[in-house]
Structure 1
Amino acid sequence: MDMKEVPAVVTGGASGLGEGAARVLAAAGCRVAILDLQQERGEAVAREIGGIFVKCDVTSAESAEAAFAAAREAHGPCGISVSCAGVAPAGRIVGKEGPMPLEDFARVIQINLVGTFNVLRLAAADMAERAANGDGERGVIVNAASIAAYEGQIGQSAYAASKGGVVSLTLPAARELARQGVRVNTIAPGLFMTPMMASFSDEVQQSLAATLPFPQRLGKPNEFGMLVEQIVRNPLLNGETIRLDCALRMAPR
């Protein structure tokens, strides 16, 4: 897809991997709308990249519909959608205080999986209204999963289940939306320098980086954004989940 002037929506774009994707897409010529709950940070990033910010709760149909309407009014129907909004809490199925509260598990599924689908359905509806290019392509959807979808560690049952759902969603969504000329792909990142990672001490960061085969360092958000751009540009990438993890395979703990 030619990315110049294409309206792009990035959820979770105020920080971390979403911010990395928003910056790369803006640099490639896209008109970027950042959807996030972090208003102050999101507005600052939007100003820096020449985009717009819309406050959005991806777990709410009404909030997401209103956010897409605002982005559409500003830039036109969404042509590129990147879903990075998510949470990564740790919690054992049975901990010192008993079984995990069911609402804790449900909250992670609601944000990471249901939120991703909420955005996907709205982006696909927008894309179906766009004019097709020479390949018949109208839009590209990129979702964020995690390598925890494949090797979830102890304490990651909710997170791994939510990201496994995103991986499983990818192929059927790509098959269904092919008729509309919409491609769907997913990125499964490994260890990246996100705000959560930055909250850890240098010692912890270095110990985590030492587990990576090569390169032996944490990923940078713009490198996630680079893969988003490559997925958008390559018309044959469809229905795929791509690991971006320095060849890491996580141990049980």
Structure 2
Amino acid sequence: MNPYTITGPVDCSVKPDLSVLKGKSVIITGGAGGLGEGYVRAFSKNGSFVTFGDIDEHKGKKLAEETGAQFVKVDVAQWEQQVEMFKAAKANSPHKSVDVVIANAGIGGQDSIWELQDPGSDPVKPEFPILDVDLFGVVYTFKLACHYFRSQPEDPQRDRCFIFKGSMMGYIDNIVRP
């Protein structure tokens, strides 16, 4: 794969040509609701083969029916589940490719590090679902995207794009103590 080269700033006043999305194979994590659902709908509407993963099976199946996208039930914090989603995306896409990957899945709230136990008892191992999803899940998605991007031949029609999506929760001081 050729190294990335900077081609200058993007002129945001120019409306993008969405016809270039036709035939692309797109993977979206956290695609059953919110921004992820918007990505699924937009890419599907513009002719992409979309595979999306989410833990919400009910919403995922409903969205897949509405859009023709491929839904895979996935907990992004589980490496093996993400591997299966990527395999399904490549195997079922018309060009057997992975062209665009959007790391969109994320959760908010509070990990158990702030839960205090009785200092007279043994400490309890904390659980970190937010770190598992928002950090490790994204890193797993990136690692798999790099693997699949590199495994396909270079071709102008099979360009590669990885999009990291984050929420305001990643930028604001939001430490909450019980």
TM-score (normalised: structure 1): 0.53
SS class of match (1:34) = strand
Match of 1:143 in 2: 164
Match of 1:110 in 2: 132
Match of 1:15 among 26, 33, 36: 33
Match of 2:97 in 1: 77
- Asked if 1:29 corresponds to 2:29, the answer is no
Alignment of 1:17-166 (within 5 A): 17-75=35-93, 76-90=96-110, 94=114, 103-104=126-127, 106-134=128-156, 138-155=159-176
Whole-angstrom distance in 2 between the partners of 1:96 and 1:69: 42
Measured after TM superposition, the shift of residue 60 of structure 1 is 1.5
**What is the count of residue pairs matched by the alignment?**
153
* Letter in structure 2 aligned against 1:15: G
* Letter in structure 2 aligned against 1:103: P
Aligned partners of 1:91 and 1:155 also within 8 Å: no
Residues 121-163 of structure 1: CA deviation (Å, up to 9, x unaligned) = 11221111334345x973111122223323222329xxxxxxx
Identical residues among aligned pairs (%) = 25
SS class of match (1:113) = helix
1:3–1:109: structure 2 CA closer, same or farther, 3 Å change rule? same
Measured after TM superposition, the shift of residue 52 of structure 1 is 0.9
Larger CA Rg, structure 1 vs 2: 2
SS class of match (1:125) = helix
Whole-angstrom distance in 1 between the partners of 2:48 and 2:118: 49
1:147–1:31: structure 2 CA closer, same or farther, 3 Å change rule? same
Match of 2:3 in 1: none
Higher helix share: 1
Whole-angstrom distance in 1 between the partners of 2:125 and 2:169: 20
Unaligned runs of 5+ in 2: 1-17
Whole-angstrom distance in 2 between the partners of 1:28 and 1:20: 12
* Letter in structure 1 aligned against 2:107: V
